[in-house]
Structure 1
Amino acid sequence: MKYIKTYKFASLLVLLVSITSCNEDFLNVDDLDDLDLSTVYQSEEDLTLALNNLYFSLPNLDIEDPLFSIDANQAYIVPYFWTDDAIHRNIANTADNQGSDFNWSDSRRSLRTFYRYQDIANINFFLESLPGATFETESNRERYAAEARFFRAWIYETMVLAYGDVPLVTTTLTPSDNPSRTPRQEVFDFVISELDEITNQLPETYSGDDIGRITKGAVLALKSRAYLNALGWHSDPDALYAGAEAACSEIISSGVYALVDGIDGFKEQFTPDSDLTSPETILATIYVTGINVSRYALQVSPRDLYKGINGSGNNQRRPGFTSDFIEEVQTINGLFPKDDPTYDPANPWVNRDPRLEATVRLPLDEYLGTDGVNNDIFLPHPSYGDTRDRVQGSNNNPTGYGFKKYTDYTMLNNIEGDADLKIIRYSEVLLMYAEALAGQGRDGEALPYLDQVRERVGMPKYADIGLPTVTRGTTGNTMIDAILLERRYEFAGEGPQRWFDIWRYKLGNQVIGTVYGIPDDVNLPGDLTGPKYDSSDLEIYQRVWDDNYYLLPIFVSFLDDNVNLTQNPGY
């Protein structure tokens, strides 16, 4: 939010936000005897600064959550490693690996990333302070409350998906409070009721320095996500599809949002060129210099990629796409490579869905080198000798297929990339709307919205070529399978959407297994039938699914600190 950029945060105010609220374990609360709270949270200016601070409860563009901190920022990319599309290579030898090895337990730090009661406490304290504050612009009071309630609904919506029953805390707690887990349905109902109540308390658009704040469209998009994410456990799927349909329909009919034309329009969404100006952006975490620092470019880039004018240090190449994903990205004819007679395994990157090249750093890709002038070539195959990109290197991309979104050549520093994280884009609303219609058996109505996303990047419409036959990870509904496939292409490497899809349609046992990378045959980089690099010497690549994973474990320290918390089954 550019609005936030205009303020220098008051350190004392931020400190008070944290220490007047219970921490994540509900027990360790600092002594407040020496603080005079009567002098803060009293004016509109106080509450404006405090509200701006709440925006940091939105996730960061990061593939790792630094969870050694009580109030660590949520890393938005982490759940993508809990899918069939990607894996994270553990470079720092932390024995954590962001959970991508599926060796899960209640001590895995990365699996606690959505359990965010420090943020909940800050929001509750803000909301309790709001009625007594003096406002010069009285209309701001209701809007400020609506924005804060959005953040609280955002956090609870994800916790409902990830953990099931969680304590529903809507007031500040005392050191002696040990809340029990609230039934999942009750928390879900709270989220929906909160979003219903604030929908019309927020504007559709903002102007000036307020651009980037929470809008009515963001509320409706989160509501649609909430309805669809509940499909995996809720007893009334018809009501969920209908609720998602209504929310998306209101966004679409508003005319506020649109797709940016062409594959260049797609690529632009992951650069600063789209920040606060793109008609696709519904919700974003706005980059703020020196505060929500993004290490993403450092984490994903080849060693010799351009680091920015002020960049330093070695790029780390931590994540990789799986061969399952690469081989299921369609050709330009709308066919899976295995089904397209024009597919050439010796030249596999031509005539593919253009989003493949925009999303994945592929073998033999050229990219701007560290000097900012000359190009280098991405050479991950072990046969390329001493290249520092090869998959068998100890610190390299584990599959030979790298991440590319949000890596651009305009950044000043590779450890502080300045592109905004696009959390919900308009293409997701179109696909959620199509899914909601398809879930109600209205395939004919759903198809144009699915095709709208495909047509934007130059892919043939399914209305012209027919729906694909998805055999790996099928829901049993052909139209929904096609929509989930499109979501894989559209949102690959940018967020948790594939995680949502696997969890809510219970696809884990169909899609999670051993991770493979590039083909062994260096002359056939698109070989579909021969052996592939599988890091068989590393157990983390031999992933095994367990249905317990549809709920994450409650982190062991939370259980230790709150006697009324109970663990999810299987951990």
Structure 2
Amino acid sequence: MRKYENKQLFFTVGFIMVLLVSFACEGPLEMTPKSELAPANFLNTEKGINSVLFSAYSSIQFRNHHKINTAEWPSRHLLQRGGGQSRRATLYMNFTWDATENWWSNGFWDDCYEAIRDANIVLDNVENVETSESRKSLIAAEARFVRASAYFYLFDWFGPTPLVTSSNPETLEPSRSPEEEIKNFIESEYTAIADILPSERPDEEAGRGTKGAALGMLTKFYLNTKQWQKSAQTAKQIMDMGIYELHPDYFELFQEETTQNNNEFIFVHPTAKEAGLGTNVMASIFPPNYPTPGSHVNWAAHVKLADVFVNSFDPDDERLKLIVTEYEDLDGNHVQLLGNDESRPFKYWPNENSNGLHAGHYLPEVRFADILLSRAEALNEINGPSQESILLINRVRRRAGISDLELSDFSDKDQLNEHILQEREREFYYEAKRRQDEIRHGVFISDAQSRGKNAQPHHVLFPLPQSEMDANPNLEQNPGY
């Protein structure tokens, strides 16, 4: 099970549990503990409750390539060859995964339910903490943000799963909750905490809940569940906050230093240049014999972009600058990547200050460009092409340095929707958005079938992990698996 922890924010739950077990001993060794970490008072202190809260945050901080690859390998544009990832990548690219051969998404299940467990511990104990009522309210809101986000991810990957809202559940073998119950829970949690969470946080608290993060996740939840009016309205709330804006330079936006401090990233997965804390995304991006800067590592596994995707860009599109289509290798040879399905997504541009595998790029979960395009899509679904939708899309296109669209370019809703899907692919490649987008637009299965893949309707959800099915007889597997 993977734990990636921000050194400034996160303690492992294992440390907490060891302390609790150690101080809970009875019998000949029983003694009255003097430490503030004693079970009787550990969760009564702000330090103690924050330790559990930060552990919850840690479980939903996806800092590596796993989440990106599982969302984009099934699409047309991301390919992978070679190295230890090859077999796993083939399952995702060919739609041949199953409940036992689904390692990364199985790990997501574990991560999310660890976050839910820790958030429930916080919520069940926060009223006992010796601090102000305002602090208690904020701690509880953050725990609810983490828990809602965990259920957001679970619903996206697996559909409705067991809804557990207490650290002392009535059963340890819960059934899957009804879909509407899960959807209502996610909506009500984000809505309730949005005005409790701070509008802004200092840089050292990146990755923690804010009003924008809650509303941003809610915007995307509404969009993916086709609640168009609510998605459009929530996106407008974020725009009206006056905090977020498009960073003027797309290439600069994904440089390490800029990812750590800009007004476009609304909710991020923070990293640090230390073992277990950094992101190793670039290790599987570099092509063979590439002159990697600094101490960057180049794995045998190679993630690539298909020519059909790279060639879909306008030649003047600034977003192409983060795609490497050719290079001079360490031996001085010119290597052509475009034309051979070998181009590379250098989205998180490497620099000389990495620590081997451990780079410090913050990975965006929600950014302002997504909010603009989400509102444009939702408005189009409600009323068809409108001048406002076109203007929202053009804001993103202008930053990319390409020409404006005109309302007259689109005769109906379907035509504009098709363009929005293409625009999102070019804007958000290698940001773990493509699977959601294709499912929402109804082309996830048909597009894969047109490429000769084994895609079937049930593949819009991943299977529940077989280990969970074996441990809990009350779980029902997703149809088709």
Distance, in Å, in 1 between the alignment partners of 2:215 and 2:17 is 28
8 Å Cα contact 1:301-1:316 kept in structure 2:
no
8 Å Cα contact 2:266-2:367 kept in structure 1:
yes
Alignment of 1:431-446 (within 5 A): 431-444=373-386, 445-446=388-389
Of 458, 462, 476, which residue of structure 2 is paired with 1:548? 458
Alignment of 1:76-95 (within 5 A): 76-89=68-81, 91-92=83-84, 95=87
1:453: Cα distance to partner? 0.3
Q: Percent identity?
A: 23
> Could you say what secondary structure the match of 1:422 adopts?
strand
Distance, in Å, in 1 between the alignment partners of 2:417 and 2:119 is 37
**1:150 maps onto 2:145 in alignment:** yes
Residue 353 (structure 1) aligns with:
317
CA change 1:376–1:449 in 2 (3 A) is: farther
Match for 1:139: what amino acid?
A: S
Residue 37 (structure 1) aligns with:
39
1:246: Cα distance to partner? 1.1
8 Å Cα contact 1:248-1:430 kept in structure 2:
yes
1:174: Cα distance to partner? 6.2
**1:412 maps onto 2:408 in alignment:** no
**1:274 maps onto 2:274 in alignment:** no
8 Å Cα contact 2:458-2:479 kept in structure 1:
yes
Match for 1:324: what amino acid?
A: V
Residue 58 (structure 2) aligns with:
56
Match for 2:404: what amino acid?
A: K
Residue 466 (structure 1) aligns with:
409
CA change 1:381–1:192 in 2 (3 A) is: closer
8 Å Cα contact 1:224-1:244 kept in structure 2:
yes
> Could you say what secondary structure the match of 1:320 adopts?
strand
**1:455 maps onto 2:419 in alignment:** no
1:513: Cα distance to partner? 4.2
Distance, in Å, in 2 between the alignment partners of 1:412 and 1:37 is 40
CA change 1:411–1:303 in 2 (3 A) is: farther
The aligned length equals 460
8 Å Cα contact 1:14-1:50 kept in structure 2:
no
1:273: Cα distance to partner? 2.2
- Report Cα offsets for 1:319-341 as digits up to 9, x if no partner: 12223322333x2xxxxxxxxxx
1:50: Cα distance to partner? 2.6
> Could you say what secondary structure the match of 2:43 adopts?
coil
**1:118 maps onto 2:114 in alignment:** yes
CA change 1:88–1:127 in 2 (3 A) is: farther
Alignment of 1:3-18 (within 5 A): 5-6=7-8, 14-16=14-16
Residue 33 (structure 2) aligns with:
none
**1:478 maps onto 2:415 in alignment:** yes
Residue 130 (structure 1) aligns with:
126
**1:512 maps onto 2:476 in alignment:** no
> Could you say what secondary structure the match of 2:364 adopts?
strand
Distance, in Å, in 2 between the alignment partners of 1:106 and 1:211 is 34
Match for 1:118: what amino acid?
A: E
Residue 199 (structure 2) aligns with:
204
**1:487 maps onto 2:424 in alignment:** yes
Match for 2:345: what amino acid?
A: F
1:176: Cα distance to partner? 5.7
> Could you say what secondary structure the match of 1:405 adopts?
coil
Match for 1:559: what amino acid?
A: M
For normalisation by structure 1, the TM-score amounts to 0.74
CA change 1:328–1:555 in 2 (3 A) is: same
- Report Cα offsets for 1:212-252 as digits up to 9, x if no partner: 53210111111111111113xxxxxxxx1111011100111
CA change 1:504–1:40 in 2 (3 A) is: same
CA change 1:381–1:450 in 2 (3 A) is: closer
Residue 242 (structure 2) aligns with:
255
> Could you say what secondary structure the match of 2:53 adopts?
helix
1:438: Cα distance to partner? 0.7
CA change 1:63–1:213 in 2 (3 A) is: closer
Distance, in Å, in 2 between the alignment partners of 1:311 and 1:404 is 13
Segment drifting more, 54-63 vs 544-553: 54-63
> Could you say what secondary structure the match of 1:481 adopts?
helix
Residue 177 (structure 1) aligns with:
172
> Could you say what secondary structure the match of 2:366 adopts?
strand
CA change 1:482–1:381 in 2 (3 A) is: closer
Residue 470 (structure 2) aligns with:
560
Of 310, 315, 325, which residue of structure 1 is paired with 2:309? 325
**1:296 maps onto 2:296 in alignment:** no
1:267: Cα distance to partner? 1.5
8 Å Cα contact 2:16-2:52 kept in structure 1:
no
Distance, in Å, in 2 between the alignment partners of 1:378 and 1:56 is 40
CA change 1:77–1:17 in 2 (3 A) is: farther
Residue 427 (structure 1) aligns with:
369
1:138: Cα distance to partner? 3.6
> Could you say what secondary structure the match of 2:430 adopts?
coil
Match for 2:119: what amino acid?
A: I
Distance, in Å, in 2 between the alignment partners of 1:255 and 1:93 is 43
User: What do you get for the CA RMSD once the two structures are aligned?
Assistant: 3.0
1:114: Cα distance to partner? 3.6
8 Å Cα contact 1:90-1:96 kept in structure 2:
no
Distance, in Å, in 2 between the alignment partners of 1:227 and 1:133 is 34
Segment drifting more, 44-53 vs 556-565: 44-53
**1:104 maps onto 2:97 in alignment:** yes
1:6: Cα distance to partner? 4.1
Distance, in Å, in 1 between the alignment partners of 2:22 and 2:466 is 25
Residue 388 (structure 1) aligns with:
none
Segment drifting more, 40-49 vs 561-570: 40-49
Distance, in Å, in 2 between the alignment partners of 1:88 and 1:18 is 40
For normalisation by structure 2, the TM-score amounts to 0.87
Distance, in Å, in 2 between the alignment partners of 1:258 and 1:17 is 42
Segment drifting more, 106-115 vs 141-150: 106-115
1:171: Cα distance to partner? 1.0
> Could you say what secondary structure the match of 2:262 adopts?
coil
Distance, in Å, in 2 between the alignment partners of 1:440 and 1:32 is 58
Match for 1:186: what amino acid?
A: E
- Report Cα offsets for 1:481-521 as digits up to 9, x if no partner: 221111100001122x1111111222123311476xxxxxx
8 Å Cα contact 1:62-1:77 kept in structure 2:
no
Distance, in Å, in 2 between the alignment partners of 1:100 and 1:19 is 44
Distance, in Å, in 1 between the alignment partners of 2:127 and 2:148 is 20
Distance, in Å, in 2 between the alignment partners of 1:59 and 1:512 is 29
8 Å Cα contact 1:57-1:151 kept in structure 2:
no
Segment drifting more, 80-89 vs 194-203: 80-89
Of 335, 342, 345, which residue of structure 2 is paired with 1:400? 342
Distance, in Å, in 1 between the alignment partners of 2:466 and 2:79 is 24
Match for 1:509: what amino acid?
A: I
CA change 1:306–1:47 in 2 (3 A) is: farther
8 Å Cα contact 1:300-1:316 kept in structure 2:
no
1:99: Cα distance to partner? 1.9
Distance, in Å, in 2 between the alignment partners of 1:202 and 1:138 is 14
